[in-house]
Amino acid sequence: MPKRGSSVYSITFLKRLWADGKTHIEIAAALGCSEMYVSQLRERHKLPRRRQVRHGPQEFDPTPEQIAERAAECRARRPDPATPKQERVSVPRYTWTGKVFQGIV
């Protein structure tokens, strides 16, 4: 392994790390350089590009059944419009005394 911070790298060491499937971050840490420099070394020594892998699940559009289910959940949480408005209003958390707001416990 080359010394950290040295500007001379062993090509065989770089190729071995690349062949082992190490990431740019891991190679940069091993060589003591930046990820950008690892990219430049890869191009300079004609190492093959790696296929980029998408991380995380892919989100697809919801099915009509999922849309209907979600709409039913939203309707169940919504207050009934037939209920008088005074009953639907929640209790205020603060009151105005004319000068300052006071919290209600």
Looking at the structure of the chain, the number of domains it has is 1
pLDDT in tens, 37-56: 988 998 998 998 877 766 66
- Identify whether 33 is part of a domain: yes
Per 3-state DSSP, what percentage of the chain is helix, strand, and coil (rounded to 5)?
45, 5, 50
- Identify whether 14 is part of a domain: yes
The single residue listed with the structure tokens 């009934």 is 80
pLDDT in tens, 58-83: 678 888 999 999 999 988 887 776 76
- Identify whether 83 is part of a domain: no
Q: What is the mean pLDDT of the chain?
A: 78
Pairs from 75-78 (Cβ < 8 Å, separation ≥ 24): none
pTM metric for this prediction: 0.43
State which residues form the domain around 9: 1-50
Q: What angle do CA 88, 78, 74 make, to 5 degrees?
A: 165
